[in-house]
Amino acid sequence: MADAGPAPRHPELRAASAGAYLRLRRLFDPSGQTAVVLPLDQGIEGDFPELERAPALVAELVDAGATAFIMRRGMARQAAASFAGRAGLIERVTTRSRLAGRDGEPFLASTPAGVLLDGADAAVFTLFVGPPEDGMLRDFGMFADGCRAAGLPLVGEPFPGGLPGVVPYDGPFEVEDLRTAVRVACEEGADIVKTAWSGSEASFRRVVAYSTVPVLIAGGPRTDDPAAILGMIKGAMDAGARGTAVGRKIWQWPDPPAMLHAVARIVREGADVDAALAALHP
């Protein structure tokens, strides 16, 4: 196999105003180079005993090295004292509960003003790109305009949707479809993109190369194989990702701080999978 060459050059962190830039930097480590983001917004998507004690879980994950959390407004208010001044907050603004099923599209349920009122540093908006592609894409663009006016960074979470054989959120996604979905989020106003794994480092390089903003790798379907989890993260970082936005693979692990520490070894230090596994099982 031919050498894949260097990873795509990281897009710089850019924002429309000083306020937006300052908020964006709070999501990353002090160097501004990498982010270890923990999604904890899945409480309405299933029955998760791990999320019963949110403040205690958040405190453990801050201590283990999380740079930011993705939460819905309710959890953010409940757990604020556990991470205030120590990690950033990305507030989820799109919603759909487990009781509604997985086939329908999430819908917008907040405003930039509401996100700022909660003290968040950014908003995250899930976007299905593909048929019928009307309401969500329009809402995303209009929300992006509101974020720019408010000085609020926007994280786009695009998924190819409405395509044959594709399970909502889980795929499998063709790399060309992921590239298009990511580019749509960039073009319509995202400051960061959180996107799904394409299956290999080589294919994920193509996804990163088509993004005009920094890319975070999402966790995707749950697995109990630590080498697979850490291998995905290593591949994504080597392909040019700026960090992770992995949730269930960390907080559903028997020892969440240990898994987060292993992930951070790869993201921040460039450790290989074996070294990260050693951190997971000292």
Q: Taking 80 as the threshold, does the pLDDT of residue 79 lie above it?
A: yes
* Tens-digit pLDDT profile for residues 190-225: 999 999 999 999 999 999 999 999 999 999 888 889
* Tens-digit pLDDT profile for residues 108-166: 999 999 999 999 999 999 999 988 778 899 999 999 999 999 999 999 999 998 778 88
SS3 241: coil
What local confidence, expressed as pLDDT, does residue 279 receive?
A: 85
Burial 28-62 (b: 16+ CB within 10 A, else e): bbeeeebbbbbbbbbbeeeeeeebeebeebbbbbb
What local confidence, expressed as pLDDT, does residue 1 receive?
A: 40
Q: What is the mean pLDDT of the chain?
A: 93
What local confidence, expressed as pLDDT, does residue 8 receive?
A: 62
d(CA 68, CA 192): 13
What local confidence, expressed as pLDDT, does residue 2 receive?
A: 44
Nearest to 216, CA basis, from 236, 240, 239, 244: 244
SS3 236: helix
Nearest to 218, CA basis, from 135, 126, 280: 126
State the Cα angle at 189 between 184 and 191, rounded to 5°.
105
Q: Taking 60 as the threshold, does the pLDDT of residue 3 lie above it?
A: no
Residue 128's Cβ-side half-sphere holds a number of Cα atoms within 13 Å equal to: 24
Q: Taking 80 as the threshold, does the pLDDT of residue 172 lie above it?
A: yes
Average pLDDT over every residue of 44-70: 95
